[in-house]
Structure formats: C-alpha cells, structure tokens
Amino acid sequence: MSRVFLALFVGFIIGALTFGFFMKEAVPMAKTSEAPKVAQLNDVVYLDKYQYTDVAFVSNYDGDTMRFVVRKSLDAGFGVIVTGAIPIEVRLLGGDTFEMKDKNAENKAKAVAARDLVQKLLSEAVAIKLVTHKDEKEKYGRYLAEVYFTSKDGAKGSIIQVLNENKLTTGRFSE
C-alpha cells in the first residue's frame, strides 16, 4: 500500500512540475502583507515582477534580445528531486540598442559592439539574475527583462547600465 501511495505521489509531483515547466509562466515572488511596490517607467506601470536566479545564458541576437534557460528543481521527498529547464527569450527593459540590419555604417558598428559586449559579459558571468515583466503588447511575444550579472571578480552590474555607459543605446526607451 505504501509503495502505491509513493508512486502516485511522485507521479502527481512530476506531472504538476512538467505541466508548469511548459506553461512558460514564472512563479511570482513571495507575497507580503504590504501593498505591492509599483515601479513607473515612462507611464508604464509594472506589477508582479518575477525573479530568476538559476539562469544560464544561451545566446543573444543583438544588444537587447537574449535567450536564457531558467532551471527549476523541486525536492519531492523520499529522495526524489525533480528538475527541469524553461527556455526564455527576453527583450531588454529600459533601453534600445541599434539594429544589426541598419544601413548606416556607424549604427551597424554600434549594434555589433553592443551584441559582442553583451555576449562577453553574460557568457563570462558567474551569476545572472532576470527580473521579468510580461507585456502583451510586445510584438514578438518576448518577456521584457532587467538583466543583472556578477562577473568573475565579484563585480555586479546591469546590462542596460553597461550599454548606456558605453553609449551603445539609441536613447529610445524600450517598453
């Protein structure tokens, strides 16, 4: 009887996790008794931010479009640990970089520099943190994200801040 119960329990946990992993929706941060904090950026209001810290960088197309794998695991008890990974494509929140297909040579050079800088920072990072915002208006269905990194020497930074400091953004606000 206990083996049947254990098998049903583990099957339920695996089924619930598998369904959740393919939904591509994050688990909201722990709720507190306080009212949710509201950040306002250019009249856009974001609530219910989602944070991911077990993140692996996969690739980037340019300076503001990146792909990651978010890893999740759950201890189901009885020595069973269920793990999974969610691929996610994000659009950098807070700035816009030049386009890779730009006809202007100077803008194209800035686009390539932004892409290479982001690729270097994230591929060499020892830790990456994503804070995502789902925006139904984003035309390609990507999540908007703040992307933070910790380098090998322990320095912490924000991708958008580094791009701005290196003058690799267009000055347009991405939302």
- Cβ distance 159 to 150 under 8 Å? no
Instruction: Give the pLDDT score at 34.
Output: 46
> Could you list the mean pLDDT of each consecutive 10-residue stretch along the chain, which spans 175 residues?
56 53 43 42 49 91 92 80 85 90 92 95 94 74 89 92 92 60
Instruction: Give the pLDDT score at 14.
Output: 57
Instruction: Give the pLDDT score at 116.
Output: 96
Instruction: Give the pLDDT score at 81.
Output: 80
Instruction: Give the pLDDT score at 10.
Output: 56
Instruction: Give the pLDDT score at 86.
Output: 84
Instruction: Quote the CA–CA distance of 109 and 115 in Å, as a whole number.
Output: 10
Give me the sign of the Cα torsion angle 92, 95, 97, 103: positive
Q: Provide the 3-class DSSP secondary structure of residue 76.
A: strand
> What H or E segment, with its residue span, contains residue 84?
strand 80-92
